[in-house]
Structure 1
Amino acid sequence: MSDWIFCSGSGLLSTSIGLNAVSAHGTCTAVFVAVAAIASFGLASIRTLGKMKWAAWAGVASVFTAVMMATIAVGLQERPPTAPKGGGPWVSDYKLVGNPSFTQAITAVSSIVFAFAGTPG
């Protein structure tokens, strides 16, 4: 039961953050959470999940695309805007595996796992 609560909370929070970003914070976050809750209630009223599997696959595709875009963009970036200015070469301190906290590591893993775990069919 708690998995469903955390999944729905994550979805509502992500939707409100996305709507805040698109609207340049034009409305209160609570209003966007209410909009997301009403939309998910309407979509959850459909009798069978089998009729909604196209939406689940669209969600998986969008999460996977977003993660891959961020990964590729960071990998291809030559000199970030916050790097020290100057004529000398800039050396990246890129680490394949850094020292994340437990929360950061679980958040990174669960974003990928939850994207694929709830997809029907």
Structure 2
Amino acid sequence: MAAVDEHLRAKFDQRAVPSRWSECADALYVPGTRSVADALAVVDHVLKRCPGCLVVVARVSDRCCLAGARDGTRIRMTRAATSMPSVGARECAAVASLLHGQLVLRAPWRRLGAIELRQGSRPPLRLRVVVLV
């Protein structure tokens, strides 16, 4: 895999005043557990509040996260049944960077189908991708 670009990724904490990092980040992730509807609302809220951000990933559960792009695309990523690691904050952050790279390469998320994350010596995390909007 080739390097795509440099970008700033940061955590967005809904309970705090946005930091300068989150206000100028290219990709943001929102940890925590919420319903799918709440995650979609959070993604929309963060994209409105942080105009420089292209990608927001919000954690739904240890099996699922949602992502939104500034162009209106929304996807749900669900852990494959055979995949061992759970979807935590670190995984959401990695997914945010990966999806940002896809946008920079002008590669539509609709074509992803699946994502496999490899982080160090941990088993790979396999996520099925479903386009919502």
Q: Which has the higher strand share?
A: 2
Q: How does the TM-score come out when normalised to structure 2?
A: 0.27
With a CA cutoff of 8 Å and minimum separation of 6, indicate the structure with the bigger relative contact order. 1
